[in-house]
Amino acid sequence: MDMQTSLLDRLFETGLLIDTGIEGLYGRSGSFEEVITRFEALIDEVGGADGAEAIRFPPGMNRAYFEGSGYMKSFPQLAGTVHSFCGNELDHMHLLQCMEAGDDWTKGQEATDIVLTPAACYPLYPTVAKRGALPTEGGLFDLQSYCFRHEPSNDPARMQLFRMREYVRMGTPEQVMAFRNDWMERGKALMARVELPVEIDVANDPFFGRAGRMMKNNQRDQNLKFELLIPITSTAKPTACMSFNYHQDHFGKSWDISTADGEVAHTACVGFGLERIALALFQHHGLDVGEWPARVRATLGY
Ligand code: ATP
Ligand code: ZN
């Protein structure tokens, strides 16, 4: 049995994760959630004094915002749209007959104005753009959202619905680069406090198709994305538990976000994969939180 299925099976057996019959869609136990809550408190401890504006969006976003983000150009394979039944009574009868016959009843569903959020920061850019130019000190935001990505897998660290905690910085290139560099150091220090082994490496997003290959190379060549990796289901291929993304002026241009000086704003975001961090803690310190090393428990306030 490979390491992925074996960890997933153990998580199901202990009830930390709950099987729903769909790969990457799991229930979480109280104990699993508590680890995430406590780790988020640790994030607050590190980042709280920076004065970020906290915003919580629901896990669905305005479809027009999603369209404007260019997500479908780069990652069509991962997106999830929300569809609903919009018919009359006759259509309803047909729908039920179709279900009864075991045929595909979803064909008649129509797109709504909501798309599942692919990354916690996507709803933020158009929201901030509406406010007008950024103040001189730029913008700093604290986000957390469930995110959807259509990437079913038996690797428990690759879920279809998972939470991302993010800090997002907007401003001059110097402001956002300083933010990103700070968080790479903070990320390493934070993981050391919970005794997780990390490495940081340059990375790329899973851009789609042949054109995507060029985007991947470009992103790597320019050091636009770094990941903090921790072994979870494989020591040879550790898992990205945090990412540090410099978008240059991509979102600033797309949404017309400007700095106080009237320049196109640059943006960067730092994302914590909350489930992945919880899984890393369980994998390294054991599935029973009561047995975790005393120092790790103390850091998390147990
Ligand atoms: P990967 O390379 O593993 O697919 P990614 O580069 O696409 O991840 P980001 O888009 O940078 O990930 O997302 C921010 C963070 O969200 C990642 O660092 C990771 O911790 C977490 N994350 C991404 N995809 C998943 C997933 N399918 N399940 C759980 N966590 C995820
Ligand atoms: Zn982001």
- Structural domain count, the chain: 2
pTM of structure: 0.96
Predicted confidence (pLDDT) per residue in 202-223, tens digit: 999 999 999 999 999 999 999 9
Predicted confidence (pLDDT) per residue in 153-203, tens digit: 999 999 999 999 999 999 999 999 999 999 999 999 999 999 999 999 999
Residue owning the nearest CA to atom 21 of ligand 1: 273
Q: Are residues 224 and 242 in the same domain?
A: yes
Looking at residue 1, its pLDDT comes to 53
pLDDT above 80: residue 46: yes
Q: Are residues 105 and 193 in the same domain?
A: no
Amino acid at 113: D
Sign of CA dihedral 244, 250, 254, 256: positive
Whether residue 242 has its Cβ less than 6 Å from ligand 1? yes
Per-residue pLDDT, averaged over 79-92, amounts to 97
> Which domain-ending residue is among 62, 94, 115?
115
Residue 227 alpha carbon, nearest atom of ligand 1:
18
Q: Are residues 161 and 252 in the same domain?
A: yes
Q: Are residues 35 and 93 in the same domain?
A: no
Q: Are residues 107 and 245 in the same domain?
A: no
Q: Are residues 217 and 268 in the same domain?
A: yes
Q: Are residues 290 and 184 in the same domain?
A: yes
Predicted confidence (pLDDT) per residue in 134-153, tens digit: 999 999 999 999 999 999 99
Separation between Cα atoms, residue 149 and residue 119, nearest integer Å: 9
Q: Are residues 293 and 174 in the same domain?
A: yes
Region for 238 from its dihedrals, namely left if φ exceeds 0, alpha if ψ lies in -120 to 50, beta otherwise: beta
Q: Which domain holds residue 95?
A: 84-115
Q: Are residues 148 and 226 in the same domain?
A: yes
Q: Are residues 152 and 267 in the same domain?
A: yes
Residue 206 alpha carbon, nearest atom of ligand 1:
7
Predicted confidence (pLDDT) per residue in 229-250, tens digit: 999 999 999 999 999 999 999 9
Q: Are residues 110 and 256 in the same domain?
A: no
Looking at residue 64, its pLDDT comes to 98
CATH of the domain at 262: 3.30.930.10
Predicted confidence (pLDDT) per residue in 96-143, tens digit: 999 999 999 998 899 999 999 999 999 999 999 999 999 999 999 999
